[in-house]
Amino acid sequence: MNRIDDVFTRLRTTGERALGPYFTAGDPSLDVTRRLVIEAARRGADLIELGVPFSDPIADGPVIQRAAARALANGATLVRVLETVAAIRREASVPIALMTYYNPVLAFGLEPFAEAAIKAGVDGVIVPDLPPEEADPLAEELHPRGLSLIYMVAPTSTPARMRTIARRSRGFLYVVSLTGVTGERQELPRELADQMRELRALTTKPLCVGFGISRPDQAAQVARLADGVIVGSAIVRLCEERATSSSLVEDVGDFIADLKKPLRNG
Partner 1 sequence: MKRRRPSGLPDARGHFGRFGGRFVPETLMAPLIELESAYLAAKRDPKWTRRLRELSTTYAGRPTPLYFAERLTEHAGGARIYLKREDLCHTGAHKVNNVLGQGLLATRMGKKRIIAETGAGQHGVATATAAALFGLPCDVYMGAEDVERQKPNVFRMKLLGARVIPVDSGSRTLKDAVNEALRDWVTNVRTTYYCLGSAMGPHPYPMMVRDFQTVIGREARSQALRTIGRLPDAVVACVGGGSNAIGLFHAFIADRRVRLIGVEPGGRGLATGRHGASISGGAVGVLHGSMSYLLQNDDGQVTEAHSISAGLDYPGVGPEHAYYYDAGRFTFEPITDEEAVEAFSSLTRLEGLMPALESAHAVAYALRLAKTLPRTKSLLVGLSGRGDKDVHVVAKALGMTLE
User: Of these residues, 5, 39, 46, 49, which one is catalytic?
Assistant: 49
Q: Rounded CA gap, 39 and 256, in Å?
A: 9
- Torsion sign over Cα 98, 102, 104, 110: positive
Least distance from C-beta 181 to partner 1, angstroms?
Answer: 5
Least distance from C-beta 139 to partner 1, angstroms?
Answer: 15
Q: Which is nearer to partner 1, 92 or 192 (CB)?
A: 192
On the question of a cis peptide bond just before residue 28, with omega within 30 degrees of 0, the verdict is: yes
Q: Which is nearer to partner 1, 232 or 253 (CB)?
A: 232
First to last CA, the chain: 25
Interface ranges with partner 1 (CB under 8 A): 54-59, 61-62, 65, 69, 72, 77-79, 101-108, 128-131, 133-134, 151-158, 161, 165, 176, 179-181
Question: Is residue 254 annotated as a catalytic residue, yes or no?
Answer: no
User: Of these residues, 39, 46, 60, 184, which one is catalytic?
Assistant: 60
Identify the helix (H) or strand (E) that includes residue 220: helix 216-223
Q: Which is nearer to partner 1, 7 or 98 (CB)?
A: 98
Least distance from C-beta 163 to partner 1, angstroms?
Answer: 13
**Closest Cα partner for 138 from 179, 164, 170, 183?**
170
Question: Is residue 49 annotated as a catalytic residue, yes or no?
Answer: yes
Indicate the angle between helix axes 159-168 and 192-202, nearest 10 degrees: 60
Q: Which is nearer to partner 1, 23 or 108 (CB)?
A: 108
**Residues with a known catalytic role:** 49, 60
